[in-house]
Structure 1
Amino acid sequence: MTTPLVTVAQGALKGRIDTTPSGKRYYSFEGIPYARPPVGSLRFRDPQDPKPWSGVRDATKPGNICAQIDLLRMKNFEGSEDCLYLNIHTPYLKTEQKTKLPVIFFLHGGRYLVGYGHYYRPDYFMEKDAILVTVNYRLNILGFLCLDTPEVPGNAGMKDAVLALKWVKDNIECFNGDENNITVSGESSGGGTASAFLTSKMADGLYHKIIVVSGNFVSDLMMAEDHIGAAKKVASMLGNDVEDTTELYEVLQNAPLEDLVRNASLLQLSTRHIKSVFLPVVEKEFKNVIPFFTEDPVISLKNNRFYKVPILTGYCTHEGALFLPVASDGTLMFNEDPNFFIPFFLKYQRDSPGVNNFMAKLRKFYFDNRQLDDSLKENYLHLMDDAFFLRDIFRFLEYLTEYHRDVWLFKYNFNGAMATRTMKNLGLKGASHSDILPYLFYRSNKVKNMRESDVKIINYLTDIWTNFAKSGTPSWSGQNIKWPTFSSKSEVCLDINEELRVMEYPEKERMQFWKSIIVDAEKSKL
Structure 2
Amino acid sequence: MYFGTLIICVVLVNVQSQGIQETRIVNIDQGPVRGYKNPGEGFYSFYNIPFATVRERFKAPSPPPTWTTPFDAVDRGIICPQGPVSYVDLTNKTMQEDCLVINVYVPETNKTNLPVLVDVHGGAFHAGFGATYSYNSFATSNNVIIVTYNYRIGILGFICMGTENIPGNAGMKDVVAGLRWVQRNIASFGGNPNDVTLTGCSAGGSAIDLLPLSNITRGLFNQVIIDSGSNLATYGVQSNPIEVAKQHAELYNFTDFHNFDAVERFFLTEPFDTFIKINSNCGPCVERDVGEEMFLTEAPYTILNRGDYIKYPTLYGLSDMEGLFPHEAIEVISQILESNFANFLPSDLQFSSEEERQRVAESVKYFYFGNESIASNFLKLVDFQSDITFVTSILRTVKLNVNAGHREFYLYEYSFYEEDAVIKGAPHCAQARAARDEDETNLTEDYRRVKTFIREFWFNFMTAGNPVINATPVASWPTVGQNRSPHLSVGRSIELRGPLMQERAEFWDAIYERHYRVPVPPTRDSASSLAPRNVAIIAILLTIYTLL
Question: Which position in structure 2 is the counterpart of 1:343?
Answer: 346
Question: Which position in structure 2 is the counterpart of 1:119?
Answer: 132
C-alpha displacement of 1:225:
3.5
**Distance change >3 Å, CA 379–CA 141, structure 1 → 2:** same
- The normalised TM-score by structure 1 is 0.87
Question: Which position in structure 2 is the counterpart of 1:32?
Answer: 49
Distance in 2, matches of 1:43 and 1:225, equals 23
Question: Which position in structure 2 is the counterpart of 1:140?
Answer: 154
Distance in 2, matches of 1:80 and 1:416, equals 41
Question: Which position in structure 2 is the counterpart of 1:241?
Answer: 256
C-alpha displacement of 1:228:
2.5
Question: Which position in structure 2 is the counterpart of 1:4?
Answer: 24
Deviations along 1:26-82, one digit per CA (max 9) or x if unpaired, are: 11111011101x25xx11111112121231111122541111113456988972212
C-alpha displacement of 1:454:
2.0
Identity of aligned residues (%): 28
- Aligned partner (choices 150, 159, 169) of residue 164 of structure 2: 150
**Distance change >3 Å, CA 416–CA 50, structure 1 → 2:** farther
Question: Which position in structure 2 is the counterpart of 1:420?
Answer: none
Alignment of 1:299 with 2:302, yes or no, is yes
**Distance change >3 Å, CA 334–CA 325, structure 1 → 2:** farther
Contact 1:29–1:89 (CA under 8 A) maintained in structure 2 = yes
**Distance change >3 Å, CA 368–CA 245, structure 1 → 2:** closer
**Distance change >3 Å, CA 136–CA 476, structure 1 → 2:** farther
Q: Which amino acid aligns with 1:447?
A: E
**Distance change >3 Å, CA 200–CA 522, structure 1 → 2:** closer
Alignment of 1:170 with 2:172, yes or no, is no
Distance in 2, matches of 1:407 and 1:367, equals 33
C-alpha displacement of 1:416:
4.4
C-alpha displacement of 1:175:
0.8
- What SS does the corresponding residue of 1:436 show, helix, strand or coil? helix
Alignment of 1:486 with 2:480, yes or no, is yes
Distance in 2, matches of 1:454 and 1:146, equals 43
Distance in 2, matches of 1:102 and 1:379, equals 42
Correspondence list, 1:241-260, <5 A: 241=256, 243-260=258-275
Question: Which position in structure 2 is the counterpart of 1:502?
Answer: 496
- What SS does the corresponding residue of 2:430 show, helix, strand or coil? coil
- What SS does the corresponding residue of 1:321 show, helix, strand or coil? coil
Contact 2:468–2:476 (CA under 8 A) maintained in structure 1 = no
Distance in 2, matches of 1:239 and 1:315, equals 39
Alignment of 1:464 with 2:457, yes or no, is yes
C-alpha displacement of 1:227:
2.6
Contact 2:88–2:127 (CA under 8 A) maintained in structure 1 = no
Correspondence list, 1:118-517, <5 A: 118-126=131-139, 127-236=141-250, 237-239=252-254, 241=256, 243-262=258-277, 264-265=278-279, 268=280, 276=281, 278-287=282-291, 289-322=292-325, 326=329, 335-336=337-338, 337-348=340-351, 352-374=354-376, 376-402=377-403, 403-416=405-418, 427-443=422-438, 446-475=439-468, 478-488=472-482, 491-517=485-511
- What SS does the corresponding residue of 1:173 show, helix, strand or coil? helix
C-alpha displacement of 1:220:
2.2
C-alpha displacement of 1:252:
2.1
**Distance change >3 Å, CA 359–CA 246, structure 1 → 2:** closer
Deviations along 1:298-346, one digit per CA (max 9) or x if unpaired, are: 110110111121000010010011377716x899656232223323332
Contact 2:483–2:499 (CA under 8 A) maintained in structure 1 = no
Which deviates more from structure 2 when the two are superposed, residues 471-480 or residues 216-225?
471-480
Contact 1:32–1:63 (CA under 8 A) maintained in structure 2 = no
C-alpha displacement of 1:123:
1.8
Distance in 2, matches of 1:301 and 1:308, equals 10
Distance in 2, matches of 1:411 and 1:182, equals 24
Distance in 2, matches of 1:324 and 1:230, equals 31
Deviations along 1:116-151, one digit per CA (max 9) or x if unpaired, are: 111211222221211111111111001001121012
Question: Which position in structure 1 is the counterpart of 2:107?
Answer: 91
Contact 1:326–1:333 (CA under 8 A) maintained in structure 2 = no
Q: Which amino acid aligns with 2:427?
A: S
**Distance change >3 Å, CA 242–CA 451, structure 1 → 2:** closer
- What SS does the corresponding residue of 2:303 show, helix, strand or coil? helix
Stretches of structure 1 lacking an aligned partner (at least 5 in a row): 269-275, 418-422
Contact 1:325–1:334 (CA under 8 A) maintained in structure 2 = no
Q: Which amino acid aligns with 1:158?
A: M
**Distance change >3 Å, CA 506–CA 261, structure 1 → 2:** same
Distance in 1, matches of 2:264 and 2:183, equals 34
Q: Relative CO higher for 1 or 2, CA cutoff 8 Å, sep ≥ 6?
A: 2
C-alpha displacement of 1:260:
2.5
- What SS does the corresponding residue of 1:15 show, helix, strand or coil? strand
Stretches of structure 2 lacking an aligned partner (at least 5 in a row): 1-11, 13-21, 518-548
Distance in 2, matches of 1:522 and 1:3, equals 54
